[in-house]
A = this chain, B = another copy of it.
Amino acid sequence: MTRKKKPTSFDVARMANVHRSAVSRALSGTGRVSEETRERVIKAAQELGYRVNYLARGLHNQNSGLVGLVASRLDTPYRALQVKVAARELLAKGYCPLLIVAEGDAALTGLIDRLLNYNVAGMLVTSDSPPADIIDECKRLSVPVVLVNRDVHDAEADRVQLDITASGRLAFDMLRQAGGQSFAVLEPQEKTYTVSGRARVFAECCRAAHLPVTVIEPQRQNYIDGLEAAELFMAQNTPVDAVFCTTDLLALGFLDGMRVRYNWQVPQDLQILGYDDIEQAGWLGNNLSTIRQDAAAAAMLAVDLMQARIEDPDRTFEVATIPISPVWRGTTRYSPI
């Protein structure tokens, strides 16, 4: 393999008979250059296959154009969509996303740490559990951080969030409207800000209305845990006619478990409500009633927030709320039409 040295601005300058700085001016668009020089430079650059070295540029401007994109559970439909949209938007705005994936705080810390070495212009965190000390570290280095669906105590960061109270309440309202009388809610043992939050609010709504509510606690929040929840559900004896599953993945697992393993009819024997409205919820075989949160919109909001903060680091912190809306499908008896 011929190991050609990459051409530098110097090479281009020589070819175009100008100084390197002229090359820089012509190519970066900033600064004044005569039309003629610009053309000569561009032509020379093309001929040489020259491309600006962003690392060098970044070194000078203190801004590499790199943005950290931190995500856990990337193989989950909701998260995958979110990351895809975030990456797309970032790219469209001229940034370049550095993808960090990790489960577990320990690994995350080390990796985010590495991001900081790249002088990232900002960080988009959609992880379930970004350790708080990392956020602090970013703050210390004045690296903008946008948190998606994360509770942060001291809150010195822009955030895109679900309204937890509204979410739990909407779930309750929907199930009530569908005729539910005695409820259950799935609250994973592995806590997560939004999921545990809406489970809690839902239960509170039930209690406030003096309606019975059973809390079922699967391990985590995936399909398989929904299956586990179905088992747990069968093992307990309280009569329940409506279940809020807090996550579509949980709901789908629970649904399959009840239908396939225990031969229950949904929604006749039991009504089921999910949360997220992932693509699979709408699949004909599932036809899951759920609450839609717009992952794409959330991601775009996050990117906007990030950009705004990069452009004006001193603006006040903003918290954007992700819109949610009821999606009535076949696992509930109510249909608004």
Contact = CB atoms under 8 A, between A and B. Distances in A.
A236 interface: no
Given A96-B98, A118-B54, A118-B55, A260 B279 contact: no
24 contacts: A1-B142, A1-B314, A4-B141, A49-B141, A54-B118, A55-B59, A74-B80, A74-B83, A87-B99, A91-B100, A91-B102, A96-B114, A96-B115, A96-B118, A97-B98, A252-B283, A253-B283, A255-B285, A256-B285, A257-B284, A259-B285, A260-B284, A260-B285, A285-B285
Contacts of A6: 141
In order of increasing CB-CB distance, the 6 nearest A-B pairs are A80-B80, A256-B284, A74-B84, A99-B99, A260-B284, A75-B81
A54 B116 CA distance: 9
A76 B74 CA distance: 11
Interface in A229-275: 252-253, 255-257, 259-261
Contacts of A181: none
A72 to B, nearest CB: 9
A286 B285 CA distance: 8
A119 to B, nearest CB: 6
A3 interface: yes
A118 B67 CA distance: 13
A252 B285 CA distance: 9
Given A283-B252, A313-B3, A101 B84 contact: yes
A77 to B, nearest CB: 7
Given A56-B59, A99-B87, A223 B279 contact: yes
Given A74-B80, A77-B77, A283 B223 contact: yes
Nearest to A118: B54
A207 interface: no
A52 interface: yes
Nearest to A84: B74
A203 interface: no
Contacts of A119: 53-55
A192 interface: no
A48 to B, nearest CB: 11
Contacts of A211: none
Contact of A53 (B59, B100, B283): B59
Contacts of A115: 96
A329 to B, nearest CB: 12
Given A91-B101, A101-B87, A223-B283, A313 B142 contact: no
A98 B117 CA distance: 14
Contacts of A261: 284
A276 B91 CA distance: 29
Contact of A55 (B49, B55, B75, B256): B55
A166 interface: no
